[in-house]
Amino acid sequence: MNPAADFIRKKFREYYQKKGVTAPESIEKREFGFGNDKKIDYRHLSFTKEDELKNYFVTNSPLYASFSSAYYEFPGAQPMPKKNMLAADLIFEFDAECHHDSLTCSECLEKAKQNTQRLIDDFLIPDFGFDRKDIKITFSGSRGYHLYVVNEEVKHLNAEARRAIVDYLQAKNLDIKSIIRGGATLKSKGWRGRMAKAAHEYVQVSNEKKFTEKEEILKKMAEGNYDLFRGAHSFWDRMLNEQVIHLGSAIDQSVTIDISRLIRLPSTLHGGSSLLCKYVDNLDKFNPFSDTVVFYNPPMKIKFTKDVSELVLKEQTLGPFKAGEEKNVPEYAALYLICKEVALPA
């Protein structure tokens, strides 16, 4: 547990007393889980209405809160089979893969955002035919984004069907030969069109000698003629990997496939950052390090337990800081740094 957990929970309680929480759709059919030491210390809890949920947060102020993507007849029952699953939303997760020591790596979260948008624009709407109104996006409050497809047709898909969707997104078992033989063109749908577009883009920018007659080659490709590339598996591998036209490991397949999984509850604070898990209406304009900061500006003194490089919160640059230093910083920054376990209340 974070050594400042009691302090964080006190601040979280103050927030929930003022703002409350928003219940998910069909709250009475959802399972909830909460954590302080871990992200989920205990689960199998249920609530029948939003007021009950708010009272729980005011009384207990958990550092982490999750709810089920599944709908159950008896959400509080144990073991799992006794819950009697009725349906489940289709969920995708994209977490930032951060390789920097910065506590606010905007670049890494931007990549997760881009993958989330690509999933919508390149796959869910054109390939699967989902309506944009059926798609909801949340920022997790920490490392990434969750995407929900709330649609009656997908609610009853079993785990294997959801695995097939992930396989499609990751281009697993893609039959490249059939795509080539099938005369894919730029107007083709799904992976046929995606591979054709990637091939065209590759040839257009390539300096390889075999592509010197680009105009003629591109004309043939536009007509679905790929004779030049028959048997050239390395070429098509490059289309998949160098062009990065699939979602690969960026998507957390376990979140999509595991129907009984619990996921971060929107409108709640994240104990590892103090940021708000919230729905995102405009992904392009969304800034997680401004739009989910909920604490205030009055200065608060903290003592740094680790060196901290420069960070940006609410468009304000802070630091760098040295371990052992005591500094006054805005309350929202203090909560963020304390939750990140690099500082303590002074």
- Asked if 188 and 322 sit in the same domain, the reply is no
- Asked if 320 and 222 sit in the same domain, the reply is no
- Asked if 268 and 304 sit in the same domain, the reply is no
What is the span of the domain harbouring residue 227? 176-246
Give residue for tokens 């060196």.
307
Q: Kindly give the parts of the chain with pLDDT less than 50.
A: none
Could you give the count of Cα atoms lying within 13 Å of 206 in the half-sphere of its Cβ?
A: 22
What is the predicted pLDDT for the residue at 242? Answer: 67
What is the predicted pLDDT for the residue at 232? Answer: 57
- Asked if 268 and 135 sit in the same domain, the reply is yes
What is the predicted pLDDT for the residue at 104? Answer: 66
The CATH number that applies at residue 336 is: 3.40.5.50
pTM of the model: 0.90
- Asked if 260 and 236 sit in the same domain, the reply is no
Segment 150-173, tens digit of pLDDT: 989 899 999 999 999 999 998 888
Rounded distance between C-alpha atoms, residue 183 and residue 70, angstroms: 41
How many distinct structural domains can be found in the chain?
3
- Asked if 123 and 207 sit in the same domain, the reply is no
Angle at 144 between CA 319 and CA 34, to 5 degrees: 100
- Asked if 287 and 151 sit in the same domain, the reply is yes
What is the predicted pLDDT for the residue at 99? Answer: 58
- Asked if 128 and 188 sit in the same domain, the reply is no
As a 3-state breakdown, the chain gives helix, strand, coil percent values, each rounded to 5, of 40, 20, 40
- Asked if 11 and 59 sit in the same domain, the reply is yes
The CATH number that applies at residue 257 is: 3.90.920.10
- Asked if 262 and 305 sit in the same domain, the reply is no
- Asked if 106 and 62 sit in the same domain, the reply is yes
- Asked if 197 and 55 sit in the same domain, the reply is no
CB 180 within 8 A of CB 192: no
